[in-house]
Structure 1
C-alpha cells in the first residue's frame, strides 16, 4: 500500500488482506460534524455497495450514524455489534438495521486522528466477519495503513488549497492562543465583525465548520504555528 500509485491499487491490496476475514466492503473517510452539508467530499475511499451508499446519502443517514458519532470521540476500534447494544435513538438504529438489509450485517470501525482535530474512520463490513483477536488486530493494522496511504496519495494529486491571507493567519494565531473574537479585535485594532469575516473566509478556504476546527486545520497544513 505504501507503494500504491492509485486509490484502486490501495483498495485492491486492502481487499487482499481483508477478504479472508469475511469483509466485503469498506469506507475510509474524514468525519466533519453531522450538520456538515458536504460531508461526501471528505470521503477518501468509497467501497460501499452502490445501492447502500445511495440509500445512505438520500436518507440523510450521516447525521444519525452512531458509528460516525462514536468515531469522533474515541480512537479505540469497535465492532458494530457493540454499537447495537447501546441505547440508540430510532433514527440511529434505523441506520444500522438498513445496513444489514444491504448485506452489511457485521462490521468493524477503526477511528483515526482524534487528537489532530481532523478525525477519520475506516469502516469495514460484511455478512459475517472474523471476530478472533488475530482477525481484529490484522484488520486494525490494515485499516490504519490504508488510511495513511490514501491520505498521502490524495495529498499528492489534489489541487493545492487556497492559501490564507496574512490577516487571516494572524487572526487564527490569536484564536489558537484562546483569544475571543472581541479580544482579537482589540489586539489588532479592527472591528469584531471584521474578525468574524476573517473566520468565515478561513472556514471557506480550509473547508472547516467552526473556529476550533479551522485552527486545527490551519496548524495541520502549516498555515500557522503555535
Structure 2
C-alpha cells in the first residue's frame, strides 16, 4: 500500500508549480491510478434554472456519453449529490446523499450512473460567498482507507484553489467580469471597507474631542426648534420657587427636609456644597407648592 500522505504532498507540490489548467488536469489523471477513481469534476453548483453542466464546469474528465446525457436532461438540477453539497461542509460519499421516496428523477440519475460504472465516489463541497463549488471523484469500486481519504480531500481542495487562481482574469479584464473570483474579491473588499468605516465611527464616538462639535450642533439645533436663537425665559419674580427633595445613594428617595431641620443643622440653601467625601446638591421636586413663597429645602447626597 502506498504512503498516501507522502503521495498527496508530492501531488500538491506539482499542482503548485502548474501554470495552466491542462497541467492540473494531467496531474489529477495521474493521481487516479493511485487513489483508484475513474472520473473527476471541479464545477460550481447551478445558480439559475437554465444553467447546465458545461456552464458550471471548470475542470473535469467524464465519459462522453454520460456527459452528453447529463447535460441534455438537465441532471445537474436533480442530482442528489449536487443537492447535498449545499447542506454539507466536509467530504462525503455519494451513497450518503439522501434520496427521497418521491424523487424518482434522483433515483434515475443514480441508477444510470451505476450502469456506466460510476457506482460510488467522494464529493468535496466548498462553500463560497457567491456559490457552492464541487470537487467530485467517482469510480466503480472506490473504497479508500482513512489515510487515502484525507489525502484525496487535500488534493481536491488544493486543485480547486489552483484552478480558480489560474482562471482569474488579469487587471485589464476584471472590469468586465461580472462573476468568478474577481467578483468575490470585489465583494470582500467592499465588506472590509464597510468594517473600516464602522471602526472609524466607533473611534470617533470614544473620542470626546471629536464628539464635542456634534454635541454643540445638536444643542444649537434643539434650541432653534424650541424658540429660534432666543434664550429660554427664566422664572419671573411672580412665580413661586419650586421645592426640593432629598435623594440618597443609589437614587433612593428620602423624605423632604423641612426648613427647621435645615436651619438647625446650619446648612444654607446654596446650589451645591461639599461635606466630607460627598456633596449636598439641591434638586427641584416634581410638584410646586400651592401657595407662593419660599418652599422647603431638601438635600441630596451624591457620592
Q: Same fold (TM over 0.5)?
A: yes
For the pair 1:104 / 2:69, whether they are aligned, the reply is no
Conserved 8 A contact 1:34-1:63: no
Could you tell me how far apart the structure 2 residues matched to 1:97 and 1:34 are?
25
Residues 76-106 of structure 1: CA distance to partner in whole angstroms, max 9, x if unpaired?
Answer: 11101112x6435111111111111221111
Q: Which residue of 2 aligns with 1:185?
A: none
CA change 1:97–1:122 in 2 (3 A) is: same
Q: Write 1 or 2 for the structure with the bigger share of helix.
A: 1
Q: Out of 43, 48, 54, which is 1:40 matched to? A: 54
Structure 2 unaligned blocks of 5 or more? 1-14, 192-303
Count of matched residue positions in the alignment of Structure 1 and Structure 2: 175
**Greater relative contact order structure (CA < 8 Å, 6+ sep):** 1
Could you tell me how far apart the structure 2 residues matched to 1:207 and 1:38 are?
16
Q: Which residue of 1 aligns with 2:146?
A: 133
Conserved 8 A contact 1:5-1:153: yes
Residues 117-173 of structure 1: CA distance to partner in whole angstroms, max 9, x if unpaired?
Answer: 32101010011113311121111111111111111111157982554xxxxxxxxxx
Q: Which residue of 2 aligns with 1:69?
A: 83
- Give how far 1:6 is off: 2.2
What SS class does the counterpart of residue 87 from structure 1 fall into? coil
For the pair 1:222 / 2:186, whether they are aligned, the reply is yes
Conserved 8 A contact 2:169-2:182: no
Conserved 8 A contact 1:107-1:129: yes
Question: How do 1:182-197 and structure 2 match up within 5 A?
Answer: none
TM (norm. structure 2) is 0.52
Q: Which residue of 1 aligns with 2:178?
A: 206
Deviating 4+ runs (over 6 angstroms): none
Could you tell me how far apart the structure 2 residues matched to 1:73 and 1:140 are?
18
Could you tell me how far apart the structure 1 residues matched to 2:129 and 2:86 are?
11
CA change 1:52–1:4 in 2 (3 A) is: same
Q: Out of 147, 160, 163, which is 1:150 matched to? A: 163
Conserved 8 A contact 1:34-1:64: no
- Give how far 1:207 is off: 5.1
Residues 1-57 of structure 1: CA distance to partner in whole angstroms, max 9, x if unpaired?
Answer: 111122221012122223222201101001123614355222110211111111101
CA change 1:207–1:145 in 2 (3 A) is: closer
Could you tell me how far apart the structure 1 residues matched to 2:114 and 2:64 are?
14
Q: Which residue of 1 aligns with 2:20?
A: 6
Could you tell me how far apart the structure 1 residues matched to 2:117 and 2:136 are?
14
Could you tell me how far apart the structure 2 residues matched to 1:153 and 1:147 are?
10
Larger radius of gyration: 2
TM (norm. structure 1) is 0.68
Structure 1 unaligned blocks of 5 or more? 164-204, 209-215
Q: Which residue of 1 aligns with 2:43?
A: 29
